[in-house]
């Protein structure tokens, strides 16, 4: 399908969750993981890791989230593996959310957007994580490219790292927390879009309380922290309440530790997916 005719990201994500369940698996090939799989910590080991993840996960899981840094560390050869992973994972039917957390201004932000989401990108992802902490308006070039190509953005709002609160929960000039201002700006971009907007938020599953209403967002919420970081499916419902239907929980180590055996890796991912479904229907 030509890029310009691609269905909007929010609609594709909604359909993927309906068909494959509410789970995003982070693909984080850090040194300890590759070595625990018996793989060399180099481009060859990275390629084998990527091959296994595509085979085990891409035909079954709604969203895969490769962390760009763990591929970039191997230079151009690592980036080539990432590009191959994105293309083959998407061909297998999963959506790919590239976790790169890019954030800049003007032509630089436009360059990032074209590199990861643009019509001429070598391996365009379905969505990209971005940082709004140069001001939400600095994301405009990425927002424009995403809208033009039917792709999505996930904007950092409330992250689970303890340092984040000093900025994200600070009071803005409006009197609202900075994170709430980001959420409101995302909601304005999603207004009127059906079935779901294309501009999501990143809100950690372990933060305890959002502290403001997400009701107007009309977009997806990426919730890192499921599994090894300590969050459970019931925690997700506590944190997000009535907005749980918009949440895309993500886990990495909790699933990837079951590799390198393809069947074990696939079974772990499906078990995590089914646990979420079970909690949702209680």
The residues that are catalytic are 101
Say what the alpha-carbon torsion angle 136, 22, 53, 27 is, to the nearest 10 degrees: 30
Return the axis-axis angle of helices 140-149 and 106-117, rounded to nearest 10°.
30
Cα 25 to Cα 255: distance, rounded to the nearest angstrom = 8
Q: Which two structure tokens, joined as six digits, stand for 60?
A: 């079954």
Beta bridge partners of 248: 222
**208 dihedral zone (left: phi>0; alpha: psi -120 to 50; beta):** left
The DSSP output letter for 200 is E
Identify whether the C-beta of residue 158 lies closer than 8 Å to the C-beta of residue 131: no
């Amino acid at each position: 399908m030509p890029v310009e005719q691609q269905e909007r990201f929010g609609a594709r994500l909604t359909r993927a969750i309906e068909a494959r369940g509410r789970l995003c698996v982070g693909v984080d090939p850090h040194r300890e993981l590759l070595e625990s799989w018996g793989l060399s910590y180099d481009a060859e080991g990275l390629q084998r890791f990527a091959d296994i993840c595509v085979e085990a996960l891409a035909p079954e899981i709604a969203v895969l989230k490769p962390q760009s840094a763990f591929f970039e560390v191997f230079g151009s050869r690592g980036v080539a593996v990432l590009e191959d992973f994105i293309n083959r994972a998407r061909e297998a039917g999963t959506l790919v959310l590239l976790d790169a957390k890019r954030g800049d201004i003007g032509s630089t932000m436009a360059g990032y957007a074209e590199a990861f989401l643009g019509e001429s990108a070598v391996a365009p992802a379905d969505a990209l994580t971005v940082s709004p902490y140069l001001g939400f308006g600095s994301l405009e070039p990425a927002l424009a490219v995403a809208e033009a190509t039917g792709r999505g953005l996930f904007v950092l709002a409330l992250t689970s790292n303890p340092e984040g609160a000093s900025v994200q929960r600070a009071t803005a000039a409006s009197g609202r927390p900075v994170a709430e201002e980001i959420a409101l700006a995302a909601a304005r971009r999603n207004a009127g879009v059906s079935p779901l907007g294309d501009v999501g938020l990143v809100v950690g599953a372990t933060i305890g309380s959002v502290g403001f209403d997400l009701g107007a967002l009309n977009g997806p919420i990426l919730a890192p922290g499921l599994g090894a970081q300590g969050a459970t499916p019931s925690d997700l419902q506590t944190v997000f309440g009535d907005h749980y239907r918009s949440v895309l929980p993500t886990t990495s180590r909790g699933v990837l530790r079951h590799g390198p055996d393809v069947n074990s890796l696939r079974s772990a991912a499906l078990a995590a997916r089914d646990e979420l479904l079970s909690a949702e229907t209680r």
